[in-house]
Amino acid sequence: MPKHVEEHTESVMISGQVAKASRRSTNAVVQTTLTKTLTVQSVKKKNVKERKKGGSSSNDLEALSPELHATVAAQLASLEKDTMEQSWYNSLHAEFEKSYFRKLKEFLETEMKANTVFPSLNNIYSWSRYTPLNSVKIVILGQDPYHNVGQAHGLSFSVLPPTKIPASLRNIYKQIATDIPSFVIPKTEGDLSRLAKLGVLWLNTSLTVRAHQAGSHHGKGWETFTAQVLKTVVSRPDSNGVVFMAWGLPASKTCNNIGIDETKHLVLKSAHPSPLSAHRGFLGNGHFKRANEWLKEKYGEGAEIDWTVLNRPEEK
């Protein structure tokens, strides 16, 4: 198993640029994955031009793009081994051989050959690289990735610059500022990866989505897989408990279904931070203050999450 990078790279498919390299040396396998992704995109563009020129329909994709088909299949076959952080891979590898996961990968292969899927392949498991299993202190559940260009990069609610901060994330910032008086609401910073490195697992229950179609990959197997991710966190033997933040009915149901022992873990539930529901129970929920108080009580002074890390210049 190769050593994994701590920071991701963002595909040209999403942002039109390659994000800055890891502070550490870029892992050769993940770099190969990115190179293949760029190849996939160039082949896709070529095929689109050919279809437009020749009047071919999307049903002709297989005949038009054998190179694309082979590249997508190769990437997906080793995606977990190539891009998932070691501790998560070791704990979850049994899932990859199960029937539901094989069907999920078959679905993704078909989907990626015909449609744009977010996030980029290299970022589907970026949450694992930012927050190794033994560092998880807080789990914040989302539903599925943002579905527009330049948004999703593998962490729930998070976006990379220069993408505008989404409305739900703005409401999350408002609540952090209410709970943590020293926190200043960022004007442009929507990248939550620095919080992820401190132990906040930003996890969507569905890890991919078709472009511009919210919820399009629900029910394909991701929910079963991410439930196992959560069970792995809950059953971690070296932990005295973690905080779960479940916003909205789907997240609440997910927590209920995995059977969290609330005598060991803290489960905080409220409305979703979406503008449609934020004023019906999310704003004012006190979750960030309660989480830090609980972590301090469980693990001692200094165990709290420093939410103000987003207010400081990122270390180079």
CATH number of residue 254's parent domain: 3.40.470.10
Is 136 among the domain residues?
yes
Position 9 scores a pLDDT of 37
Query: Full-prediction pTM beyond 0.85?
Result: no
What is the total count of domains within the chain?
2
Give the CA distances from residue 301 to residues 129, 139, 230, 283, 298, in Å, rounded to whole numbers and listed in that order: 26, 20, 26, 27, 9
Do both 260 and 139 map to the same domain? yes
Do both 256 and 222 map to the same domain? yes
Is 6 among the domain residues?
no
Do both 116 and 261 map to the same domain? no
60 is catalytic: no
Tell me the pLDDT tens digit for each residue of 187-197.
999 999 999 99
Domain boundary among 91, 123, 155: 123
Residue 200 φ/ψ, nearest 5 degrees: -95, 110
Q: Cα torsion at 11, 77, 98, 235 (round to 10°)? A: -50
Do both 138 and 231 map to the same domain? yes
> Which domain does 214 fall in, by range?
129-311
Is 235 among the domain residues?
yes
Is 299 among the domain residues?
yes
- Which pLDDT tens digits describe the chain residue by residue (316 residues)? 444 433 333 333 333 333 333 333 334 444 444 444 444 444 444 443 433 333 333 322 233 255 656 788 888 999 999 999 999 999 999 999 999 999 999 999 999 989 999 999 999 999 999 999 999 999 999 999 999 888 999 999 999 989 999 999 999 999 999 999 999 999 999 999 999 999 999 999 999 999 999 989 999 999 999 999 999 999 998 899 999 999 999 999 999 999 999 999 999 999 999 999 999 999 999 999 999 999 999 999 999 999 999 999 887 6
Domain boundary among 89, 123, 157: 123
Do both 143 and 284 map to the same domain? yes
Tell me the pLDDT tens digit for each residue of 244-297.
999 999 999 999 999 999 999 999 999 999 999 999 999 999 999 999 999 999
Is 296 among the domain residues?
yes
Is 75 among the domain residues?
yes
Set 60, 82, 144, 179: catalytic member = 144
Position 226 scores a pLDDT of 98
Whether 118 and 147 have beta carbons less than 8 Å apart is answered as yes
Name the strand (E) or helix (H) holding 245.
strand 243-247
Do both 158 and 273 map to the same domain? yes
Residue 205 φ/ψ, nearest 5 degrees: -80, -20
Domain boundary among 106, 123, 140: 123
DSSP assignment letter at 210: E
Quote the Cα angle for 225-229-231, to 5°: 110
Position 71 scores a pLDDT of 82
